[in-house]
């Protein structure tokens, strides 16, 4: 899935105080991307991810995803587009603690509107097996390790067959070995399933895995480095 940001500026207001999170950012992301966005805290990474994910609107500029100008869509159309095409992975996992790993992943399909139980069961079982959790489907998040919970979060994002996955600090709560395993899974899905990944990260390991590294500073793109695949 391709995405394009044109002259994006985002200003947050609190009373008379204005905080400029992004300043005239231009960015193009092609199909089958494996891209990292890096920068210090306050550089605009999360804001940029939220705008790419159609969670937040820019103050100025255009967001174009797969040729569709997002601001021309109604709020319901944006919500439906996000639900059908985008996957999200959060550093805090955001799993529902009272649901099993299977139920957490299945819930994403229910929200998407997949009504057939057999279809949901097949997709959930296959994706949990793929991320190495075949034997842990009945476990609830508190019964799983951090790495296992992150795998559930990945499965939840991918079970919807998204075209673009946005991952905010996906390795922040993981040890280096688990982080490498998780990134390897994502890289395999990127290459074999043509799923695009965009990471927001401080982790050097994630930056090294990426095909392209964008560094933000003070709400602007400071550098944009493409690597050889």
What separation, in Å, do the N-terminal and C-terminal C-alpha atoms of the chain show? 18
Per-residue confidence at 130, pLDDT binned at 50, 70, 90? Answer: confident
User: Which domains, and CATH codes, for the chain?
Assistant: 3-226 (3.40.50.300)
Average pLDDT of the residues in 84-103: 91
**What is the per-residue pLDDT across 4-25, written as a single tens digit (0 to 9) for each?**
999 999 999 988 899 999 999 9
- CB count within 10 Å of CB 109 equals 21
H/E element, 198: strand 196-201
**What is the per-residue pLDDT across 96-111, written as a single tens digit (0 to 9) for each?**
999 999 999 999 999 8
From CA 165, how far away is CA 155, in angstroms rounded? 11
Residue 173 DSSP code: T
Q: Is the pLDDT of residue 91 over 80?
A: no
Per-residue confidence at 186, pLDDT binned at 50, 70, 90? Answer: confident
- Pick the residue with more confidence: 83 or 118? 118
Encoding tokens for residue 62? 């255009």
Question: What proportion of the chain, given as a percentage, has pLDDT over 90?
Answer: 63
Residue 141 pLDDT: 95
Helices marked H in the chain — which ranges?
Answer: 45-52, 75-85, 101-112, 117-130, 146-158, 176-193, 204-209
Q: Is the pLDDT of residue 179 over 80?
A: yes
Residue 59 DSSP code: S
Half-sphere exposure of 58 (CA within 13 A, CB side): 26
Helix axes 117-130, 146-158, angle to 10 degrees: 130
From CA 219, how far away is CA 40, in angstroms rounded? 10
**What is the per-residue pLDDT across 190-206, written as a single tens digit (0 to 9) for each?**
888 888 999 999 889 99
The chain-wide mean pLDDT, for the chain, equals: 91
From CA 108, how far away is CA 106, in angstroms rounded? 5
Give residue 85's Cα distance to chain centre: 11
Residue 1 pLDDT: 77
User: By C-alpha distance, which of 5, 195, 16 is closest to 89?
Assistant: 195
| Residue 217 near residue 49 (C-beta atoms within 8 A) | no
């Amino acid at each position: 899935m391709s995405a394009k940001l044109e002259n994006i500026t985002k200003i947050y207001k609190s009373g008379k105080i204005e905080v400029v999170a992004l300043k005239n950012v231009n960015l193009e992301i092609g199909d089958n991307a494996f891209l990292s966005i890096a920068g210090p805290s306050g550089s605009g990474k999360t804001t940029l991810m939220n705008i790419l994910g159609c969670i937040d609107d820019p103050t100025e500029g255009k967001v174009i995803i797969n040729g569709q100008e997002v601001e021309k869509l109604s709020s319901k159309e944006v919500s439906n587009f996000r639900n059908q095409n985008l996957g999200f992975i959060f550093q805090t996992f955001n799993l529902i603690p009272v649901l099993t790993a299977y139920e957490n992943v299945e819930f994403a399909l229910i929200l998407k509107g997949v009504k057939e139980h057999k279809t949901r069961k097949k997709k959930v079982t296959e994706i949990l097996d793929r991320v190495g959790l075949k034997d842990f489907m009945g476990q609830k998040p508190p019964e799983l390790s951090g790495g296992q919970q992150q795998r559930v979060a990945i499965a939840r994002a991918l079970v919807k067959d998204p075209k673009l996955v946005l991952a905010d600090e996906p390795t922040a709560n993981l040890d280096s070995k688990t982080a490498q395993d998780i990134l390897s899974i994502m890289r395999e899905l990127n290459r074999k399933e043509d799923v695009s990944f965009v990471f927001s990260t401080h982790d050097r390991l994630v930056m090294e895995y990426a095909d392209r590294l964008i560094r933000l500073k003070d709400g602007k793109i400071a550098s944009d480095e493409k690597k050889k695949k």
